Each structure stands twice: as structure tokens, then as C-alpha cells.
Structure 1
């Protein structure tokens, strides 16, 4: 097995990291030197640059620099996306946000929507599908444009192709997949009527903060900027969010990712609490009443992401905690043990996390764990909150403790595996996911899992199969 390349510690690497953060806003890399170096090394090899100093010269070159920056940004940016991600937000769009926009735009019949940080386009296309389903034949009488923008040119090229694998379609049942897509050599291409509403352009959100922000990015009825700002420094996140709100119409709407709400947003936006999510509007916007439901988009149980059959697999034993004997999953999962006094705390953590206040949820977990350090449920929620905040190493540690304290805690093993896979720990991640599937296999398919918010044992096994493919 090849040893990992040594991490450069010199001035050149520090300069490159600073330039990356300044150009992309990805403060995420401030303390992720190993991750950054692993991705930069790929570009050094492709550009045939023997040293970081020469690579920095290439990035600064007037003729070659922009092309190389585009290639490096393609390595650095994260493109995890799928159709109808965060179904509770699409439910808010269907029930409240889009009906409000339609009512206000009834005379002009003109609607402008921006998917900022669109990655490979699933979000923008999901909105297009939703508009078709809501308006039906009346859509022909509206002038609706959806702009998708991203810093990553590779993602944008894929978005324009509108061709997706099953991972991007993992939230869709077969009947909706077949209605909206046509099969094409192991993938699915979105049908033309949905593609026609969307155009894609390269754009960097930090340009909104520059001396000459793009003039065309104004008067949007709806902006979706989800799971982009989470990688920014908190101060920069607030600046970008303020710039986005400033580009809304006076009655426009902004949706951000669940982990991105920030108390600073109150300085320039009004928060609107909707079932399962929070939206933002210009301070003087009037909040509408929700109309009755007309169409139901795909809705997943919380924590579920996919139901796709896959071949059977053989679970592997769990890795033990450091200094502890190996653990084998119990034959029958049980309700995780919890101290009676912790029930209210768990509910408080859930409530805060549900509205995106992850830092307050984390504080509640820490306080509770000081009084009850061996409660697996508290460690489980601490891990989920840390995962939402992007602290994967801490999340892995918390989830591992939850699984150790209660070896039958199915979802602790599953999320532990997901976090390990996200950290690139493939074999350890697969072992934990396989253990979760093995535990779930001892239950009936319809059995609801503790702390799963409705997720069943059968659904968990299917999720695990996908992770293990």
C-alpha cells in the first residue's frame, strides 16, 4: 500500500491555502490541510508542476491562471446533490412560497428564481419539476426563468447535460422517475419540458461582495442557496446572505441549508418559520397564509435518503473503541438506554436542530452529557449535530461512543458508517453500515427504529445496501 504523500508545511502551501479561501470563500479548508493537500496534489500532477512555488506561478499567470483556477476549484468544491433534497423545504415551496409568488405575480406572470451554488443542477431542475406539477398547462402563460450558478465549470457542464445516475435520483419512486426522466445507457436524462426552464452560468458568490457585483443578479422572487455558505467563515456567511437578500424583490424569499441559519441574519432579514424549515425575506415583507395542499412531492422519512434494491451483503464485525474489547452487535436491537432526566433534553436538542439552530443544540448536548456521560442517545444526537456543523472527526467520535454504549443502537451504527465514508474511511465506514443492516435485519421490515423519526428497519436495510454498493 502506497504511503500518503507528506504534508507540505512551508510558506508556499500557506500562501496557496490563503488564496483558495479568499477566492472561493471556503473557510472549511482553514484547518483541513490534509484534505486540501490531497486535492491540490491531483492538480500538481495534472499540471506537471514539480513544486508548489511553480504551481503558484501557474495560477498567477495571465494566460493560464484562470483555466488552472477553474480546474483546481473543480477539485475543491463539493457537489453532493440529489433531486428534492430536503423534502420539507420543497413542501414549504409547494404550500406557501410558490403560491405566494404566483399570487403577487398574477398580473405580470413573470417569475425569476436563482439556484445559487447549484452543483450539477438537481436543485434547479427539482424546482422546474415542481412548477410544472403545480401549474400544469397554465405554465405556458407564464414567463419563468430559473438560473443555476456555480463556481465549478465541470459541475455546470454536467448540469447542462441534465443526465443523472441513480444516486442523484435516490429520493424518487420509480413512477416519478419514469414520468420526469427518460432512461439512457445506465442513466436518466431529464425530459425537455423541465430542462427548458433552466439555464446555467458560472458564478462565484463572493463576487456579490466585490466592488462590481453582477448587475443582472437582481429582482429574484426566490433564491435557493443551500449547503454553500456552510463552508464560509461565519462573518463571510452573514455578508453573503445579506447580499442575497438584497437581490430579492421586496416580497421575495430566500432558502438556505438546515445548518446555515445564523443569528446575524436578523440584522437584514425577517425569518419565517414554516413546518420543518425556516425561510428568510426582506424585513418588511408580509408573510402569507398557507393554502391547502394541491400536490405532494416525494417525501422521505427523516434520515432516509434512498430505496433502491441491491445484492445481498455480509456484515463485518465492528471496530472497538480504543482501549476496549471488540464488540459484536446484540441479537435484537433495543430501545437505547437513557436516564429519565434526559428525555426533556433530547426533545430540546431535536427541536433546536429541526429549526437549524445547531450550535444551541450542541450546547444542550454538552450540558446534558456532563450530567449523564454514558447516555448513548445524547452521544448520538451530539454526533448528528456535529455532523451538521461539518465537524466530522468529532461526529465520528460521538457516534462511536453511542454505538459502544448501546451495541444494539441501529441508527448510531448507520450514521457512524456514513460519517466514516464521508471522511474517506471506506472500510471502517462499510463495517459500521453493515453492522446497522445486520441489526435491522433481526427486526420486521415495518418496525420503526428508535430515534429514527419514523424510519423502518426495512428502509434502513435498503439505505445500507446503497451505501455498500
Structure 2
């Protein structure tokens, strides 16, 4: 806890900052911070304040203090790792998993009935639990005859504690229609001082195959690392953006060595590289790319049809910063085999705007927090707001949003994000006003209609919710099913139309009239 009366030090002017930064990058591999001093300084301020030391030199001394220093390193590594996690994130990859990759693996393993999956950089657990839900629904009644193990690893002890608890705020479930939340989760009551809005606990049947361990992906780059039993499927998303090119190649090579000869590897959207071609085969799929061990990959039918009836439908949800087609974007998880350094980060995120990005087969432009123009960030634009929210700084994101709205109160996207952030902060009345303002500015804003409908359901105003959801369906259908929706987390118009229709049907007899 910070000592009272100690002023906030100016770390940027501290002569000990540069060597401390170099030491942090050398230890963690987080080359991401080489040109992101403002972001690193924000995180160092938090740790220096929490450790009650005066400046960078004193903090560096603390980091060298034996067991106490190692404990502080663990806390710092968690702090500087920007994590994001929500369920069924990145719709294109989950579509590929549901329709091609997992069915192919299930068919190939039919004799032994063993399936091993690794979620590397699992953060607070949404990714491995999403996989558990999907595998359970694909196997259906055959599940008891299989031995399915899903390993989630992360560098953050705090994130792993949240993952093991399997309790989430509504923001981590934001792409799920209400009826699916009820199928996979039980509702938790609000607890004064702990959980103001209540939350959601994953049902036990979906937790069974999943276990968590602390791990750092940098060990894969070290020679002589023990391999262990190989995996059928590895997901490592939004991790490699932290490393330099040489480390990325070494880590991905290490991941490839951990695969079975016919296994599959999924990386983040910004992370493919031509350097992987010497040891991995790229498999193009609609909206994404997957990898298999080189020269060992048998053909697989892609897009061969829908998943079995028991499988869940396609859902919205993609990387948090999708931009216009052709640009890369960061995926779930976190750096250095890490996840979110904050256990509540999953509930404090802002989803993306823009269309879904096509998968890159060559180098892509990384897009993490502060990847946009720094001047624009300082001005309080959407990129800055997302970066703050992506770091779990919901309050700071809200303040930046107010600055941006003071400058441009008629910006439709800003009003939309005002609604999403206000709802995250429990300010439902402000959220409703903001979403309605976005619709006043753009009558055909599908995602604003959709989120307004979900909000009105939560506020127990079913007749108004039906009108909003009917509007979401109507405007989505007018665009065509494959149209990527602005501010839609990569969701297509068809996906949102289906989700809105399902939410509307769950309201039963409430009347409808498009407004």
C-alpha cells in the first residue's frame, strides 16, 4: 500500500528508469514495451505505489532482494501483461474449430478416444472453458467414453486463481445470447463490497476436463526443454505480439514440437509469419489460418457442413481491436505465456469496432494497446479508450471517453462505447441514454440496437427489448448474412440476426413493433 504524503514520482525523468526498463524487457521478453514508455510507466507506477518505494532505483533494489524480489517480479510480470479474455472469442477460429478442426481430430482419435488440448496464455480461463463447452457438445453422448484433457497455462498466478474459480462478470459473456448463458452458467447473487452486480459461475460439467498450471512460454525457446506428451491442438493467441522476431520463431517452433504429427496450432490474428514455413504448414480457412507440423498434415475437408445438432451455433465475438480488412489484430491470452495480470480484467473490457480482419499469411501489423498514433491516444480517441479498457483501467477509459465526447459529442462510435462502458460500470441509465443517442445519430446501427435490447432485457422491460431486438434483426437482414458489422467484434449480420432473434424468442409473448 502506498505511503500517505508521497507524491507521484516522474518516472520518465528518473535516470534509473531506462536501465530498469531494459532489465524488465530482458527478463520477460516483452519487447512490446520498447516504444511504449507511457504504458510501461503507468504499470510501474502501480507497482511502485503498491510496494511503497520511492523511485525506480529503489524498485530495482527490491527486485534484487531474494525471495521478496522474486515475489515482486511475479506481481510485476502480471501487471505489465495486457490480457483480454471472453468466451468464444474470435468467431472465425471457433467456427473453424467447430466445423473442421475438432471433427477431424475426433474422427482421427476414434480408436483411442483420447484428446489433449493446450490453451497457452489462457489468462482468466475463458478460452479453455470455451473449448470444453465446444468439445462436450461435439462429442455429445459419447463424451463419457473419451478421455479429454484441456490444459490452460499462464504466467499470472492471479489470473489462474480466477480461472480455477470459474466465476465471471457479464462482460466476459458479452457475446453470448441470454439463453446460452443459462445453459452454461449459473447466476451468482450480488455481494456488497465484492460483486456489486452479481456474476456467472460456469456449470461443473464444463469444468471437468480443464486444469490450470503456471507456465512461461519463453521456456519453449530454451534448448533442451522437456517435451512431455504431445498435444492434438494448441491455441496460443495474443502472446507473440510481445516478443521480438527471433523469440517468436523459437517459441512457435517449440509449440510445433509439442504437437502430434497430425495436430493443429492456432495463433493470434496478427502473429503469422513466413518464418514458420520451414517447420509448419499453413492451412487457409474462412477468416483465419491454422498450422500443422510440416509435411505431416493430411488433408481435411474444410467447411464441409454444419457441426452436429448438439453443437452450439456460430456466435459473434472476435479480437478486441479488429480494424478494416487486411490489418492484423491481437487475440486472447497474454504475453510470455501470460494472461491478464488482473483477475477482474475479463469484466472490464471494451469490444472491438470494425469489420473482421482476414487472416494474414505474411507479417501483419501488431495492434495492441497504444499501437495507434500516440498523439491520437493522448487526445482521448477510441484507440486510447480501448487500450485503457484492455488494461483493466475501466475508470481511466471512462475518463478518456468523456474527454473525447467533449471534443466530439456527435461521434456515433464514441456514443456506442459510452453505452458499453457505462453498462460495465453499472450505470444502466447512462448506458441506455448513450445507446439511444448512438441510434439517433445512426438509425441503422445494428450493434447499438442489439446491445440496447440486451440492456432492456436486464432492466426487465421486455416490450421495449423486443422492439430493439426486432430492429437489430431487420437492419441485419437488410445487409446480407455475411456482412461484417461495424463495432461488431467480427460478427456478421447473419450471426447478430440469429442472436437477436433467439434473445427475442426467449422473451415469449412480449409484443413487437419496430420503432
Which band: TM-score by shorter chain? 0.7 to 0.9
Q: 1:161 to 1:298 in 2, by over 3 A?
A: farther
Q: Which residue of 2 aligns with 1:205?
A: 217
Q: Secondary structure at the match of 1:188?
A: strand
Distance of 2:275 and 2:356 partners within structure 1: 17
Question: Which whole-Å CA distance do the structure 2 matches of 1:46 and 1:262 have between them?
Answer: 39
CA distance in 1, matches of 2:77, 2:243: 15
Partner secondary structure for residue 227 of structure 1: coil
Gaps of 5+ in 1: 306-345, 361-385, 401-412, 463-469
- The whole-number CA distance in structure 2 between the counterparts of 1:11 and 1:212 is 38
| Native 8 Å contact 1:209 1:239 kept in 2 | yes
RMSD: 3.5
Determine whether 1:61 maps to 2:65.
yes
Provide the residue aligned with 1:171 in structure 2.
175
Task: Provide closer, same or farther for how the CA distance between residues 66 and 201 of structure 1 changes in structure 2, counting only shifts above 3 A.
Answer: same
Q: 1:393 aligned to 372, 377, 381, which one?
A: 372
Alignment of 1:144-155 (within 5 A): 144-155=148-159
In structure 2, the CA distance between the partners of 1:427 and 1:180, relative to structure 1 (3 Å rule), is same
Kept after mapping to 1: 8 A contact 2:369/2:384: no
Shift of 1:234: 2.4
Q: Give yes or no for the alignment of 1:292 onto 2:305.
A: yes
Q: 1:57 to 1:428 in 2, by over 3 A?
A: closer
Q: Determine the structure 2 residue equivalent to 1:226.
A: 237
* Cα drift, residue 289 of structure 1: 1.2
The counterpart of 2:475, out of the listed 422, 447, 457, is: 447
Structure 2 residue aligned with 1:429: 401
Q: Could you give the per-residue CA deviations for residues 211-242 of structure 1, whole angstroms, max 9, x where no partner exists?
A: 452443x4110000011111212222122111
Tell me the distance in 2 between the aligned counterparts of 1:15 and 1:450: 54
Q: Distance in 2 between matches of 1:414 and 1:13?
A: 29
Assess if the C-alpha contact under 8 Å between 2:89 and 2:318 holds in 1.
no
Give distance in 1, aligned partners of 2:249 and 2:175. Answer: 31
TM-score normalised according to structure 2 size: 0.66
Deviation at 1:190, TM superposition (A): 0.5
Distance 1:286 1:395 in 2: 46
Q: TM-score, normalised by structure 1?
A: 0.72
Note if contact 1:82-1:122 (Cα within 8 Å) is conserved in structure 2. yes
Match of residue 17 from structure 1: 21
Distance in 2 of aligned mates of 1:94 and 1:56: 47
8 Å CA contact 2:150, 2:211 repeated in 1: yes
Q: Is the 8 A contact 2:117 2:232 kept in 1?
A: yes
Which deviations, in whole Å up to 9, do the C-alpha atoms of 1:355-401 show, x marking residues without a partner? 135866xxxxxxxxxxxxxxxxxxxxxxxxx6736553328859x9x
Deviation of 1:55 (Å): 2.2
The alpha-carbon deviation at position 169 of structure 1 amounts to: 0.5
Q: Which residue of 1 aligns with 2:95?
A: 91
Deviation for aligned residue 1:79: 2.3
- Whole-angstrom CA distance in 2 between matches of 1:44 and 1:457: 36
Match in the other structure for 1:187: 199
Unaligned runs of 5+ in 2: 1-5, 190-197, 329-354, 406-410, 417-434, 445-470, 497-515
Shift of 1:84: 0.1
Closer, same or farther in 2 for the Cα pair 1:356/1:108, shift >3 Å? Answer: same
Aligned counterparts, 1:268-279, within 5 A: 268-279=279-290
8 Å contact from structure 1 (residues 418, 429) kept in 2 = no
Partners of 2:155 and 2:387 lie apart in 1 by: 26
* Count of residues in correspondence between the two structures: 381
Q: 2:48 aligns with which of 35, 40, 44?
A: 44
Matched, 1:247 2:263: no
Q: How far apart, CA to CA, are the structure 1 residues paired with 2:40 and 2:400? A: 22
The CA deviation at 1:421 is: 5.5
Partners of 2:116 and 2:150 within 8 A in 1: yes
Q: Give the stretch that moved more between structures: 16-25 or 188-197.
A: 16-25
Structure 1 residue 277 displacement after superposition: 0.6
1:259 maps onto 2:270 in alignment: yes
Report 1 or 2 for greater relative contact order, CA contacts < 8 Å, sequence distance ≥ 6.
2
1:30 to 25, 29, 34: 34
1: CA distance between counterparts of 2:486 and 2:357?
21
